[in-house]
Amino acid sequence: MEGNASLLRRLGPLAPAVLGLVLITHSSTASAADCYANECNGRDPKEMHCDADAITAGLPVSTGNVTIELRWSKACGANWARISPAPKDWKFRVENKQGHHWDETVDYESPSWFGKMVNGLGVDSRACFMNNVCTNWN
C-alpha cells in the first residue's frame, strides 16, 4: 500500500486524471463486445466477447442427464444455447422468433458445449435439443 501512496504523491495534481484514465480503460476493455443484436447472428459468443456478462435466461431443461440452457448477453443483445455435460455427437439448437436458428453438434465429449448466437434484443429466443425438448421462450 505504501508504494501506491508514494506513486500518488509523485503524480501530485495529475493523480485523479491518471486514475480516471486507468479506470475508464479497464472498464471499457472488460465489457467490450464485438457485435450487437443482429450483428451477432451466427457468431461465436466467446470470440465476440459476449460470454463475459452472460447469464442463464429462464429455467434450463434436461433430457436424460444432459441439461440445456439459453444464455443471454446484455452487452451483445444476443442469445445462444449451452449444454452440459456435452456427450460427443449430441445435437441441439438455438432459435428466435425472427426465424434465425443455429443447429450445433458436439465434436468431442466435454463438460459443456455452446453454440452460435441469435439476436435476442427485443425478440424471444429458446434453446432446444433435437427431440424438441426446449427451454421456454425468453
Domain boundaries defined on the chain: 1-30, 37-129
Instruction: Give pLDDT, residue 13.
Output: 62
Q: Check pLDDT > 50 for residue 57.
A: yes
Instruction: Give pLDDT, residue 32.
Output: 84
Helix (H) or strand (E) holding 30: helix 15-30
Q: What distance, in Å, lies between the first and last C-alpha atoms of the chain?
A: 47
pLDDT-based confidence at residue 126 (cuts at 50, 70, 90): very high
23 exposed, middle or buried (CB, 10 Å; 0-12, 13-18, 19+)? exposed
Between 12-16, 65-69, 84-88, 96-100, the lowest mean confidence (pLDDT) is in 12-16
Nine cell digits for residue 83: 449444454
The mean of the pLDDT values for the chain is 86
